[in-house]
Chains A and B, each alone.
Chain A
């Protein structure tokens, strides 16, 4: 009898909790749209097109693309990025050359031109949009961090 009562109470508790969970709407990055429905996507903004280089937040960061890349084909047939950023193209285009590190294959062997594993530029380098970041970010770069912690006599 006592055992059955305990079972009943547990069942009631589970029911109550699940009803509560169903009634509640979760607010997350995807908005308040229920999980089984498609929400209204935010309006698209044009790609930033200033052509001014952005500082990297940390030395290893792949540089951002400061221009629009709309309609640029990067495929097995051709690579529009390389028609400006390849070594032989930079005199005419005045664009920065792709880093020499991109010539190395995965065995560290340097090739004559961009290594196939680095061919698809937008895997790492991305253009930017002028949008408000959906998540707040308090990232500090290393220089800022160092100036904060340095103490002691002036050099």
Chain B
């Protein structure tokens, strides 16, 4: 008894490896206690619960409350949004952060969410922790969003503004001309012309189409 207590303990990595092997040995053998049906049903139910929890958590991160719970978003971009037509307009329909910044379709949404994990890094290390730091990074952040929207043909815009439902007879002559010449022919996508419509612009000096 005392001999085993006094014996030197094996190093930590060796004990962890032994533990992992134990678990592996349990997993690779057929169950000797639970029936196959029980295991299948338990796995099925656990799967439902896991899937539901996953999607619930995903949707929680897809709300404006979540986005604006960080001061980086709340006191910079969200404040700017409030003065624009996407927040404040005659019909009272408004866009929320994920409407424009997260694809609605599942596969693309997951891809975007994985990209967005870098934002957690930024939050932890305070990359845009102050107004000044945010302004320093604004062009870079904007370029990311423009590139994303350019690549998916302004998918998030089109979730609400579809070219099929766009009645150009109700638009101003200027808009009719631009949409007919450039949008409907596929030469341009929404974000090519409609930059800075929901937030203030970054320094636009080297952005194409701007001075």
Please state if A68 and B172 are interface contacts (CB–CB under 8 Å): yes
- Docked pose: A49 CA to B170 CA in angstroms: 12
Please state if A77 and B209 are interface contacts (CB–CB under 8 Å): no
Contact residues of A between 52 and 93, Cβ < 8 Å to B: 52, 67-68, 70-71, 73, 75, 77-80, 82-83, 86, 88-89, 92-93
Question: Which one of B84, B203, B207, B211 lies within 8 Å of A114 (CB-CB)?
Answer: B211
Please state if B172 and A77 are interface contacts (CB–CB under 8 Å): no
Q: Is the interface of A mostly helix, strand, loop or mixed?
A: loop
Question: Which one of A49, A77, A82, A88 lies within 8 Å of B200 (CB-CB)?
Answer: A77
- Docked pose: A73 CA to B210 CA in angstroms: 12
Contact residues of A between 82 and 136, Cβ < 8 Å to B: 82-83, 86, 88-89, 92-94, 113-114
Nearest B-chain residue to A85, judged by Cβ: B211
Contact residues of B between 167 and 198, Cβ < 8 Å to A: 172-174, 177-178, 182, 193, 196-197
- Docked pose: A92 CA to B178 CA in angstroms: 9
Total of A-B residue pairs, C-beta within 8 Å = 52
Any chain A CB within 8 A of the CB of B98? no
- Docked pose: A92 CA to B182 CA in angstroms: 9
- Docked pose: A52 CA to B85 CA in angstroms: 24
Question: Which B residues lie within 8 Å of A80 (CB)?
Answer: 196
B interface, size bucket: 20 to 34
A interface, size bucket: 20 to 34
- Docked pose: A105 CA to B76 CA in angstroms: 35
**A67 with B177: in contact, given A79-B211, A80-B196 (CB under 8 Å)?**
no
Please state if A49 and B172 are interface contacts (CB–CB under 8 Å): yes
- Docked pose: A139 CA to B200 CA in angstroms: 40
Question: Which B residues lie within 8 Å of A71 (CB)?
Answer: 84-85, 197
Please state if A77 and B202 are interface contacts (CB–CB under 8 Å): yes
Please state if B172 and A78 are interface contacts (CB–CB under 8 Å): no
Please state if A82 and B211 are interface contacts (CB–CB under 8 Å): yes
- Docked pose: A75 CA to B135 CA in angstroms: 14
Instruction: Mark B144-155 against chain A: 1 for CB-CB distance below 8 A, else 0.
Output: 000000000000
Question: Which B residues lie within 8 Å of A70 (CB)?
Answer: 85
**A77 with B203: in contact, given A49-B172, A71-B85, A94-B177 (CB under 8 Å)?**
yes
Please state if B173 and A50 are interface contacts (CB–CB under 8 Å): yes
> How near does chain B come to A142, taking the closest CB pair, in angstroms?
30
Question: Which B residues lie within 8 Å of A49 (CB)?
Answer: 172, 174
Question: Which A residues lie within 8 Å of B202 (CB)?
Answer: 77-78
Any chain B CB within 8 A of the CB of A151? no
Please state if A75 and B177 are interface contacts (CB–CB under 8 Å): no
Question: Which B residues lie within 8 Å of A94 (CB)?
Answer: 177
Question: Which B residues lie within 8 Å of A67 (CB)?
Answer: 172, 174
> How near does chain B come to A63, taking the closest CB pair, in angstroms?
15
Please state if B211 and A77 are interface contacts (CB–CB under 8 Å): no
A73-B201, A78-B211, A94-B177 known; 4 other A-B pairs, CB under 8 Å? A75-B201, A79-B204, A83-B210, A113-B211
- Residues in A lying within 8 Å of B, measured CB to CB: 49-52, 67-68, 70-71, 73, 75, 77-80, 82-83, 86, 88-89, 92-94, 113-114
Closest 10 CB pairs of A and B: A78-B204, A78-B201, A51-B173, A82-B211, A49-B172, A77-B201, A51-B174, A86-B211, A77-B203, A73-B201
